[in-house]
Structure 1
Amino acid sequence: MNDRLRKIILLALAVMLLIGSALMQRGLNHDRDALGLTRVTPLENAPPLLAFTTVALGGFRGLIANALWIRATELQEEDKFFEMAQLADWITKLEPHFVQVWIVQAWNMSYNISVKFKDFDDRWRWVQRGISLLRDEGLKYNPNEVLIYRELAWQFQHKMGANLDDANMVYKQAWIYEMASVFGKGEPKLDDLLIPKTEEQMQRLSILTNKFKMDPAFMKEIDSKHGPLEWRLPEAHAIYWASLGLKAAEKNPTKVKPDDLITLRRVVYQSMQLSLQRGRLIADGYAKRFDFGPNLEIVQKVSDVYEQAMLDEPGMSNNIATAHRNLVGNAVYFLYEHDRIPEALKWYKYLGEKYPDKTLLSNAPDSFPKNTSLEEFAVGRIIEDVSETSRDRVKAAMEGQLARSYRQLVLGDKNRAAGLRHLAQMLHEAYTKKIAGGANEKRIGLPAVEDVEQQVLSRLLDTKEQFWPPMMRAALRSALGMPLEIATPNSSDTNAPPGVAVPGK
């Protein structure tokens, strides 16, 4: 074969290979995009260092990031979290679309580094850094990555919302103060942020959108669907970010795993359950502190979302049904304890029809709905709470007994009123005795009975919320020897009326 013929054959082969490569490239690009292996849109608003490394290092960025990731993993195993934080920061600069490093870095800050500090304010700073890393940076470069939304929602639901960290009340209080820059001192009013009419409202809207990266229109949508929610508490924000993750998943269905969607949905209905249990913020303007109570306005919506979860996860339907049954039982109990008897009866009937073959009380094997009245169920739950170690349930029970005590006082039954108050004291004493001397005593301790009593009385006499009609409020004031009802300019900020008193004090 002469040189000329050989060159022609090689040239033809090269042309065929180029044509084949071009034909395959389109399919490869589609598969790479579907699997999330590359970024086809330009990186905008990147810092200079990130822009430089993206262009200058090219494909070598991945090799360097892998080496750093291996070293960061070794440091994590050695509990060298501060050194790991620096390496993780470099990895996010080299590979901003490496989702796992954002998640691990945020977890490292919020969970591992924060607990190294004894000072709770220092802990809060690291929790803040973990949340802002995901919200301000991770989502900036990965706006459609549902894993980042899931982790951000979990930080609110678990790290800030749960009571597993000794500093959890500091986190909640700090977050309430953060939200005050958006909502002011009073209750959140989303309509003021949707259509701001004053300069102050415009400034608050700017803080919400620029600092907290939240959309008031989507907040309103979530509040209408799952609320009313208390936007000064972390559970509402867990629901917001999980819902936003579900919305992002709709834009990229081929990149989302079914398990990730299930996790996001679980964050939503679990956080709604927490909102039902303790989603009411009780601000005490006189003692300069706050506490929580059940949000009984969302019972129907929480029940609905659990029923939908059974349909979404047929493989877990039995477990979800158990959680739903417990949830409805808690709702009945809370409603009864807060003297909302017609609603308690409605949901008790629903509970019996939905789960007729399930017992209602753990210490009563024959407590099926057909054998147990609402009153028997409520008394049985109160007895259970005497040995309960859930702070939220015990406090809700105390609030309910005290509310009924004040009602009996208005009705003229002083003995019954005194008995209900005594029962609230019994619950407090039993719970306090049970946790006394334990490592978690300060973290899960209850406020004094007198303080809870003050909160309940403030709520019943609140002229804005109108939990009781004017005649009942006047009768209660008269029974307690309190002055006549007088509106005060800042009563809505504290939820506490002037001249609050305690029976017998």
Structure 2
Amino acid sequence: MRKALLSLLAIGLLFGVSSIQKTITSDRDRLGLTLVQPLENAPPVLAFTTVALGGFRGLISNALWIRANDLQDNDKFFEMAQLADWITKLEPHYTQVWVVQAWNMAYNISVKFSEFPDRWRWVDRGIRLLRDEGLRYNPNDILIYAELSWFFQHKMGANLDDANMYYKRQWLGEMQKVFGKTTPNLDELVHPQTLEQSNRVSVLRNEFKMDPNLMKEVDERYGPLEWRLPEAHAIYWAYLGLKAAETNPTKVKKDDLINVYRRIYQSMQLAFQRGRLIVNPYLVEGKPAFEFGPNLDIIPQTSAAYERAAKEDAEMRDHIFKAHRNFLRDAVYFLYGHNRVADASHWFNYLGTKYPDKMLINGDTNSFPGHITLDQYAFARIQEDVGEANSDDRVKAAVEGLVKQSYVALALGQDQRAAGFKLMANLLITTFKSNVGERIIALPMPSVEEVQKNVLKELLDPEKGPPYEFRSALRYKLGMPGEPPPSSSTNAPPERASSSSSSFSSSKSPGKS
């Protein structure tokens, strides 16, 4: 009787297991707990460990992980890196292994070094671990795409690491392998016409693991982007994460998908602020050989990315809309400051329509949409930048700074930006005179033309001014006679830029430069 009961129990248990086996198998596939497909092109050691060690791989990798942490605590970084390589070979399909080891290299280990080149080696090593190895064995894992995007957005793109400008210079040098020293041209990578172009496509695909067709797709959807800067690559890898999620929707966690959307709109916001590369060969006032300018052409795409993310992320929707509103406020101000007044007016109206119950100027209860003009809003933003705008000394210093920036921009061929700086200088002086009224006698304020005259004299001074090449470029842009080159210089004056200086001499530019 007892045996019969046990037999019935066993049959019942087998039936119960068989009824949930399909669900268990599906969950194992969805969570990546089983190898659905065999490894392809795997190194011999990886193929051996995958087959020979079986379930013991997890125990061995745990022991190696503990040892790697001990080595890291003792600053034995190179031994630790070797163990990390073994761990990833033991558990190639466990995403957290790749993410944690790459994070260790790019964040925890890199900051142990004081020399920037040493830091860069570890940051680059973390990026390569995810891009070259992690995605090789997990091509559809959205978490790896999100992490790789974050490295470009935060570690390389943000300014929290003291070495961030060194990272950007190194990455710029890396991208020159693909684009040369000119503005990136994606069309010649998508359809190479020469052997040299084909070689650069090969470098792009084999070394950087990027597809020129997908780059073109990303650029058309979110751009135009500056592909020599890290933000474009943050967007690229996040976009590939979205495509992987579309391919394998059952394997995607909602939080991971939301993180990818965040990577995109946050990186686009950074690209809007400083996503344009401006080469500065003159080293005016000690500035680096390149500097960043805002990418105003991606404002519509950036706004759309915010709104798309808010739609996907219900929990953080209010925070995203707050960030979106701040972005629109900056967009209006930046457009106005670059003399794109018509575009600034469009987004000023959109800002008021989208957020009708929010103040346009923080803390000013009289600044709700419809109560202030675009010029008043722009002046208030200038006031935030320069401090108390009723102080004549502050205003004079601000105007002089704006005029100087306008001349620097003009010499660099940024005509529209130069005109925008002059426009803001004029607005600042006009508003100051209006505010002080009759006290203008006690608080005299020079005209923009007078400030220009003084600043120009300073910038063109052969003894105390910027380098000869800068002075020559500025003279050409202003239509002034050339300055004889100094005896020690063999450089000829640069050619006149194709755009005229008319946009600088007037308060408004006739079109986009």
The reply to whether residue 374 of structure 1 matches residue 374 of structure 2 is: yes
Provide structure 2 residue ranges, at least 5 long, that are not aligned to the other structure. 389-400, 407-415, 431-445, 457-463, 484-493, 505-513
Counterpart of 1:85? 81
Alignment: residue pair count: 437
Structure 1 residues 12 and 308, CA, compared in 2 at 3 Å: closer, same or farther? closer
The answer as to whether partners of 2:337 and 2:424 remain within 8 angstroms in 1 is no
The reply to whether residue 120 of structure 1 matches residue 116 of structure 2 is: yes
* 2:144 aligned residue (148, 154, 158): 148
SS at match of 1:371: coil
Q: Distance in 2 between the 1:346 and 1:137 partners?
A: 46
Counterpart of 1:338? 338
Q: Distance in 1 between the 2:103 and 2:203 partners?
A: 25
Structure 1 residues 69 and 397, CA, compared in 2 at 3 Å: closer, same or farther? farther
Counterpart of 1:441? none
Report the AA paired with residue 220 of structure 1: K
The answer as to whether partners of 2:404 and 2:455 remain within 8 angstroms in 1 is no
Q: What is the RMSD computed on CA atoms of the aligned residues?
A: 4.0
* 1:416 aligned residue (448, 462, 465): 448
The answer as to whether partners of 1:404 and 1:417 remain within 8 angstroms in 2 is no
* 2:53 aligned residue (54, 57, 61): 57
SS at match of 1:334: helix
Report the AA paired with residue 181 of structure 1: K
The answer as to whether partners of 2:189 and 2:201 remain within 8 angstroms in 1 is yes
Q: How many angstroms does 1:368 deviate by?
A: 2.3
The answer as to whether partners of 2:306 and 2:324 remain within 8 angstroms in 1 is yes
Counterpart of 1:268? 264
- Superposition map of 1:25-104 within 5 A: 27-73=23-69, 83-104=79-100
Q: Distance in 1 between the 2:369 and 2:272 partners?
A: 23
The reply to whether residue 353 of structure 1 matches residue 346 of structure 2 is: no
Structure 1 residues 496 and 210, CA, compared in 2 at 3 Å: closer, same or farther? farther
Q: Distance in 1 between the 2:335 and 2:98 partners?
A: 42
Q: How many angstroms does 1:30 deviate by?
A: 2.8
Report the AA paired with residue 326 of structure 1: N
SS at match of 1:366: coil
SS at match of 2:279: strand
Structure 1 residues 166 and 217, CA, compared in 2 at 3 Å: closer, same or farther? same
Q: How many angstroms does 1:351 deviate by?
A: 1.3
Report the AA paired with residue 242 of structure 2: L
Structure 1 residues 449 and 318, CA, compared in 2 at 3 Å: closer, same or farther? farther
Give TM-score, length-normalised by structure 1: 0.76
The answer as to whether partners of 2:359 and 2:369 remain within 8 angstroms in 1 is yes
SS at match of 1:164: coil
Q: Distance in 2 between the 1:397 and 1:345 partners?
A: 26
Counterpart of 2:310? 310
* 2:236 aligned residue (235, 240, 249): 240
The reply to whether residue 223 of structure 1 matches residue 255 of structure 2 is: no
Q: Distance in 2 between the 1:495 and 1:296 partners?
A: 27
The answer as to whether partners of 1:293 and 1:396 remain within 8 angstroms in 2 is no
Q: Distance in 2 between the 1:360 and 1:157 partners?
A: 29
Q: How many angstroms does 1:235 deviate by?
A: 0.2
Counterpart of 2:255? 259
The answer as to whether partners of 2:299 and 2:331 remain within 8 angstroms in 1 is yes
Q: How many angstroms does 1:407 deviate by?
A: 7.5
Counterpart of 1:282? 278
Structure 1 residues 88 and 230, CA, compared in 2 at 3 Å: closer, same or farther? same
Report the AA paired with residue 144 of structure 1: N
The answer as to whether partners of 1:283 and 1:495 remain within 8 angstroms in 2 is no
SS at match of 1:339: coil
Report the AA paired with residue 123 of structure 1: R
Structure 1 residues 332 and 423, CA, compared in 2 at 3 Å: closer, same or farther? farther
Report the AA paired with residue 181 of structure 2: K
Q: Distance in 2 between the 1:316 and 1:34 partners?
A: 26
Q: How many angstroms does 1:371 deviate by?
A: 2.5
* 1:403 aligned residue (389, 397, 419): 419
Q: Distance in 1 between the 2:336 and 2:291 partners?
A: 21
Counterpart of 2:208? 212
Q: How many angstroms does 1:54 deviate by?
A: 1.4
Structure 1 residues 352 and 79, CA, compared in 2 at 3 Å: closer, same or farther? farther
- Superposition map of 1:168-179 within 5 A: 168-179=164-175
The answer as to whether partners of 1:188 and 1:231 remain within 8 angstroms in 2 is yes
Provide structure 1 residue ranges, at least 5 long, that are not aligned to the other structure. 389-393, 425-447, 462-472, 484-493
Q: How many angstroms does 1:317 deviate by?
A: 1.9
Report the AA paired with residue 330 of structure 2: N
Q: Distance in 2 between the 1:244 and 1:347 partners?
A: 30
The answer as to whether partners of 2:32 and 2:94 remain within 8 angstroms in 1 is no
Give the percent of matched residue pairs that are identical in Structure 1 and Structure 2. 57
The answer as to whether partners of 1:285 and 1:496 remain within 8 angstroms in 2 is no
